[in-house]
Every structure is written in structure tokens, then in C-alpha cells.
Amino acid sequence: MTHATVLQTEGLCKYWGGVKALDNMSLSFHDKSVHGIVGPNGAGKSTLLNLLCGSYKPTAGRILHQGEAIEDIRAYQFVRRGIGRGFQKTNIYPQVTCLENCCIAAQRRVGGSFNILLSKNSSALLKEMAEQALQQVGLGSRRDTIASQISYGEQRQLEIAMVLATAPSVLLLDEPMAGMGHEESRLIIELLKKLKQDYCIVLVEHDMDAVFELSDQLTVMVNGQHLVTGCVDEVRNNSKVKEAYLGQGDEVI
């Protein structure tokens, strides 16, 4: 069963001078599913996520959220619309607690400028959003631990919690398993399996086994271009994909 389309791109392009980091990308992302994005280094995967969260403005093309064009709105408005972005590199504040990290993230959704009279309620709301996010990723017991004191794997979980603390409906995740051992990766895979029941997840990931296990839809990109989109089996058996990956050595599908 295909769930409702949440986010779409139409002819999306991002050029840096003569470099076509992303060229004419038209994709649909659905609710309650994982859409995997794979491709060799430099394929334009992070560029796509940066466009989808409003960090970059497209050179051309459109981004539709719930059918509404959003490519011209400001980055903070993407967060307020429920489009949450995790980063390829660990993006936490190491000197404060896990709960405080999530409070800072939640504030991006609620807005930074509080009326003094409302501030008590606002901080209670932020704390509630933050606590809930920590529980969702299984870091409830690390609530009051300084972020630099938790393991690398837990820091990546915290990063996902920070996205969840913004109360998103879309999760844009850039290599959440990068640098992890097998057991830590398993934790994230199980977490994403649980989260995909409730969110539209766009997952850029190099770990092919993880991508195959999690993805409902899978897109392969090469040199900023769309190569193929389909379910995992369709993509694995696609002759263009086999051709594109042949000779790449390290990344054979």
C-alpha cells in the first residue's frame, strides 16, 4: 500500500557555477515509509537533503509540501512546517545535557522569542517535547548526562532525538549510521523501523544492507542525475544501476 505523498520535488536543480550538484530531480516522498537515497560520493545526496530542508535555495524547480510550493520560504519555516533534518556529521552541543540538546532543538519549532509572561509555559512545553524525543530513541536514562560523555553511537541517537524534538512529520537523515559498528547500526535500524510507522523518512545512507532492509522506495543518483527509483528488488535488478556501479569496487549493489 502506498501512503499519502507528503513531500515532492519537481525538476529540482542546484548548480554551483558550472557544477550541476543536482539536476532535474523529480521525486515523491510518502508518509509512513522510508525512501532511501543512494549513490557514489558527489552524487548530490546531501545537496538534495539541503534543498529539502531549506538550507539551500534551488537554482530551478519546485518543492511541494502537502501540495504547497515551499521552495521560496525561509529555512526556519521548513522546521515549523514539520520538516526536520539530521546531519551527516555529529551536530550536537557537547557541553550540555542530552535533555538540553533536545530543548535547543525543540525551540527551533516553537520559535525563539518568548513573551516573558508565557515563558514558564513555553519552557515546560519545550521540556516535554525534548523528554518525549529522548524516550523515542531510547535515551531516556541519559537525560541528564552531558552529551560529550555518551558513546558515539548514542550521540548519533541523540542527533535523531534532536530532529524528533522539533515535532516533525518528515525526517531527513544524512548517513545516520556513518562510523558505527555493527551493533550500533542495528540499534539505529531498529529505531528507524519503529519510526517509519509514524513518519515520512528520507534516508541517505552508505550502508547498503541497512538501506535495503529499511527502504520502501529507493532512488539511485549518479553525478547529480536521477538514475532510477523503485522498490528494492526493482533497483537491485536494474541494468542501469548495475552498469553505473560496475567498476566502482567498494559500492557494488
Residues that bind ligand ADP (CB under 6 A): 16, 19, 21, 39, 41-47
**Using CB distances below 5 to 8 A depending on partner kind, what does residue 42 bind out of ligand ADP, Mg ion, none?**
ligand ADP
**Closest approach of Cβ 105 to Mg ion, in Å?**
21
Give the binding-site size for Mg ion (rule: CB under 5 A): 1
Among 111, 107, 199, 89, residue whose Cα is nearest residue 162: 107
42, exposed or middle or buried, with CB in 10 Å at 0-12, 13-18, 19+?
Answer: middle
Taking the least distance from each CB to ligand ADP, the nearer of 21 and 211 is 21
**Using CB distances below 5 to 8 A depending on partner kind, what does residue 82 bind out of ligand ADP, Mg ion, none?**
none
**Closest approach of Cβ 120 to ligand ADP, in Å?**
41
Taking the least distance from each CB to ligand ADP, the nearer of 88 and 123 is 88
108: region left, alpha or beta (phi > 0 left; psi from -120 to 50 alpha)? alpha
Cβ distance 19 to 186 under 8 Å? no
Among 25, 43, 45, 35, residue whose Cα is nearest residue 2: 35
Read off the DSSP letter of residue 168.
-
Q: Which DSSP helix (H) or strand (E) runs through 228?
A: strand 225-230
Taking the least distance from each CB to ligand ADP, the nearer of 25 and 147 is 25
Q: Within 71-216, where are the H helices? A: 75-80, 98-110, 119-136, 152-164, 182-195, 208-214
Q: Which residue has the closest beta carbon to Mg ion?
A: 46
Taking the least distance from each CB to Mg ion, the nearer of 48 and 105 is 48
Question: How far is the C-alpha of 253 from the C-alpha of 237, rounded, in Å?
Answer: 9
Residue 224 has which C-alpha cell?
Answer: 547529480
User: Is residue 185 near Mg ion by the rule CB under 5 A?
Assistant: no
Taking the least distance from each CB to ligand ADP, the nearer of 18 and 67 is 18
**Using CB distances below 5 to 8 A depending on partner kind, what does residue 121 bind out of Mg ion, ligand ADP, none?**
none
Residue 244, number of CB atoms within 10 A of its CB: 22
**Closest approach of Cβ 194 to ligand ADP, in Å?**
26
The partner residues of 226 in beta bridges, in order of sequence, read 221
Taking the least distance from each CB to Mg ion, the nearer of 71 and 205 is 205
**Closest approach of Cβ 182 to ligand ADP, in Å?**
23
**Using CB distances below 5 to 8 A depending on partner kind, what does residue 189 bind out of ligand ADP, Mg ion, none?**
none
Instruction: Quickly tell me which residue has 523518512 as its cell.
Output: 201
**Closest approach of Cβ 226 to ligand ADP, in Å?**
13
The contact mask relative to Mg ion for 25-64 (x = CB under 5 A, - = no) is: ---------------------x------------------
Positions in the binding site for Mg ion (CB under 5 A) = 46
